[in-house]
Chains A and B, each alone.
Chain A
Amino acid sequence: MNWRRLAAMAHKELIQIFRDPRSLLVVVAMPILLMFAYGYGISFDIKHVPICVLDRDASQQSQDLLKHFQASEYFRVVKVANNYRELNAAIDAGRCQLAVVIPWDFSRKLAAGGKVEVQAIVDASDNNTANVSMSYSEAVIRGYSQQVQLEWLQRHGLAGASTASAPIRVDARTWFNENLESSAGIVPGVVVMVMAVVGTFLTSLTIAREWERGTMEQLISTPVTSMEVMLGKLAPYFVIGMLDTTLCAVLGVLWFDVPFRGRWSVFFLSSTLFLIVVLSLGYFFSVVGKSQMAANQMAMLATFLPTFLLSGFIFPIDQMPVPVQVISWVLPARYFMTIIRSVFLKGTSLAQLQTNLLALGVFAALLALLATRAFHKRLD
Chain B
Amino acid sequence: MTNGDPSVVVRDLVKRFGDFVAVDHISLEAQRGEIFGFLGPNGAGKSTTIRMLCGLLHPTSGHATVAGIDVAREPEKVRQQIGYMSQKFSLYNDLRVIENLRFFGGMYKVSSSALPERIRWALDMAGLTDRESAITGTLATGWKQRLALGCAVLHRPPILFLDEPTSGVDPISRRQFWELIHRMAGEGVTVFVTTHYMDEAEYCNRLVLIYRGQIVASGSPTELKQRAMKGELLLVECEPLGPALETLKSAPGVMDAAVFGDALHLVVPEASEAVHTLNSYLSERGIRVKKIETIRPSLEDVFVSLTTTHAQSAPDRRPQ
Contact = CB atoms under 8 A, between A and B. Distances in A.
Interface in A329-380: 377-380
A377 B57 CA distance: 9
Most central of B56, B84, B91 by chain A CB within 10 Å: B56
A106 B103 CA distance: 85
Given A217-B88, A218-B84, A225-B76, A15 B106 contact: no
A378 B57 contact: yes
B266 interface: no
A95 interface: no
B95 A5 contact: no
Contacts of B107: 5, 8-9, 219, 222-224
Most central of B51, B99, B105, B106 by chain A CB within 10 Å: B106
Interface in B142-156: 148, 151
Contacts of A5: 106-107, 109
Interface in A152-208: none
B80 interface: yes
B56 A8 contact: no
B86 interface: yes
B92 interface: yes
A222 B161 CA distance: 12
B91 A215 contact: yes
Interface string A1-12: 010110111011
A20 interface: yes
Contacts of B90: 213-219
A221 interface: yes
Contact of A221 (B17, B56, B103): B56
A7 to B, nearest CB: 7
Given A223-B76, A379-B56, A4 B94 contact: no
B109 A4 contact: yes
Interface in B24-41: none
Interface residues of B, number: 35
A16 interface: yes
A19 interface: yes
A334 to B, nearest CB: 38
Contacts of A20: 94
A12 B86 contact: no
B112 to A, nearest CB: 8
B92 A215 contact: yes
Contacts of A221: 54-56, 79, 82, 84, 86
Nearest to A10: B106
Given A4-B106, A15-B99, A217-B56, A223 B88 contact: no
Nearest to A2: B109
B106 to A, nearest CB: 2
A220 interface: yes
Interface in A215-249: 215-225
B290 to A, nearest CB: 48
B93 interface: yes
Contacts of A7: 106
Most central of A5, A15, A217 by chain B CB within 10 Å: A217
B99 A12 contact: yes
Interface string A59-75: 00000000000000000
Most central of B104, B107, B151 by chain A CB within 10 Å: B107
Most central of B79, B80, B84, B90 by chain A CB within 10 Å: B90
B79 A379 contact: no
B91 A218 contact: yes
Given A7-B106, A12-B103, A223-B79, A378 B58 contact: yes
Contact of B103 (A8, A223, A377): A8
A223 B77 CA distance: 7
B89 interface: yes
B4 to A, nearest CB: 13
Q: 10 tightest A-B contacts by CB?
A: A8-B106, A221-B84, A222-B107, A218-B90, A223-B79, A217-B86, A223-B80, A12-B103, A379-B56, A214-B90
Interface of B: 17, 51, 54-58, 75-76, 79-80, 82, 84-86, 88-95, 99, 102-109, 112, 148, 151
10 contacts: A12-B95, A16-B95, A19-B94, A213-B90, A214-B88, A216-B90, A218-B86, A221-B79, A223-B79, A225-B76
